[in-house]
């Protein structure tokens, strides 16, 4: 009897890496996660995190990840090198690089660790929003391929309509939305890292139009452990993001990802360049 093997989820196919050889692995860009220039930054972040995760010397779970987009990633194969720079009793520090034809395009640092039970408190609270199924699905323009891999339900701050030149500048840069993988997929650390980059550049919303912009540096702090992520299953999570300052060609934006019962799963921060 022939056993039929189901194809991998599109996300898993996009972040797939070959077996390690002295800390090196090979991958390939996926057109399903293409952005306007190169691949979606979230899928790159997820790929680099996975490189460290599947390294045989890895200790514990991800605590933080910082990805610096040093140059464009061309369509095609790439190599990822993940190296633990120091391992302590409860934390482990990583340097990760993505190269193409021997040229570094992306660098990253990550911290993994063994979590232990302590006093716990969350000072911030999630936005007050309707339930996910009470909000209509609304995506990005069709030419942004990666966005088709996410089911997005905007509560506020949807991406400006590229065909509408009357929207004008807005006084607030906040976007809040329910989001999950499309098709649905159980949440894990690489998927959460990628979700932290689904917030389009805040300058689009403030100016009411799309313009050249791109992430320079992305940091994710993981507040959930693997068990907490497993509890989310494949349900939508709540994301919210806003900018702090625009000027001289750069702005920063911060975001939060909230899960079931208002648990804070991750916080994220970006530095983004723009032209106007």
- pLDDT digit string (tens) for 197-220? 999 999 999 999 999 999 999 999
pLDDT tens column, 221-256: 999 999 999 999 999 999 999 999 999 999 999 999
Asked if residues 143 and 128 have their Cβ atoms less than 8 Å apart, the reply is no
- Structural domain contains residue 93: yes
Q: How many CA atoms lie within 13 A of 39 on its CB side?
A: 29
How, if at all, do strands 264-274 and 77-87 pair? unpaired
- Structural domain contains residue 121: no
- In sequence order, the 6+-apart residues with CB closer than 8 A to the CB of 147 are 139, 140, 198
Q: Is the pLDDT of residue 1 over 60?
A: no
Give the domain extent around 100.
10-114+129-274
**Domain count of the fold of the chain:** 1
Band of residue 36 on the pLDDT scale cut at 50, 70, 90: confident
Question: What average pLDDT is seen over the chain?
Answer: 95
Q: Is the pLDDT of residue 190 over 80?
A: yes
At residue 90, the 3 state secondary structure works out as coil
- Structural domain contains residue 32: yes
CATH label of the domain that carries residue 179: 2.40.160.210
- Give the pLDDT score at 83: 96
With CA atoms as reference, report the closest residue to 158 among 211, 212, 200. 200
- Give the pLDDT score at 249: 97
Q: Is the pLDDT of residue 106 over 80?
A: yes
- Structural domain contains residue 217: yes
- Structural domain contains residue 124: no
- Structural domain contains residue 225: yes
- Give the pLDDT score at 68: 98
Please give the backbone phi and psi of residue 245, each rounded to the nearest 5 degrees, phi first. -155, 140
- Structural domain contains residue 67: yes
Tokens of 255: 């975001």
Share of the chain above pLDDT 90, in %: 88
Tokens of 258: 């909230």
Mean pLDDT of 156-179: 86
pTM: 0.95
* Nearest-angstrom CA–CA distance, 177 and 154: 4
């Amino acid at each position: 009897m022939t056993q039929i093997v189901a194809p991998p989820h599109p996300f898993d196919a996009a972040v797939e890496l070959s077996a390690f050889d002295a800390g090196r692995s090979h991958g390939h860009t996926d057109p399903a996660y293409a952005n306007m220039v190169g691949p979606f930054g979230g899928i790159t972040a997820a790929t680099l995190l996975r490189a460290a995760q599947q390294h045989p010397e890895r200790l514990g779970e991800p605590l933080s990840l910082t990805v610096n987009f040093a140059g464009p990633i061309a369509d095609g194969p790439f190599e990822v090198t993940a190296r633990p720079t120091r391992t302590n009793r409860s934390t482990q520090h990583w340097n990760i690089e993505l190269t193409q034809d021997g040229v570094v395009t992306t660098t990253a640092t990550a911290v993994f660790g063994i979590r232990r039970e302590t006093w716990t408190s969350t000072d911030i609270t999630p936005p007050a929003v309707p339930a996910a199924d009470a909000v209509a699905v609304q995506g990005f323009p069709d030419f942004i391929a990666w966005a088709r891999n996410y089911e997005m339900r905007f509560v506020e701050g949807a991406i400006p309509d590229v065909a509408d030149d009357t929207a004008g500048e807005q006084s607030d840069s906040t976007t809040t939305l329910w989001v999950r993988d499309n098709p649905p997929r159980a949440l894990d650390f690489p998927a959460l890292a990628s979700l932290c980059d689904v917030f389009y550049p805040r300058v689009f919303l403030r100016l009411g139009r799309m313009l050249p912009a791109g992430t320079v540096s992305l940091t994710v702090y993981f507040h959930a452990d693997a068990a907490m992520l497993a509890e989310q299953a494949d349900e939508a999570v709540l994301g919210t993001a806003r900018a702090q300052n625009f000027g001289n060609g750069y702005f920063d934006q911060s975001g939060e990802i909230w899960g079931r019962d208002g648990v804070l799963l991750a916080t994220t921060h970006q530095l983004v360049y723009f032209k106007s």
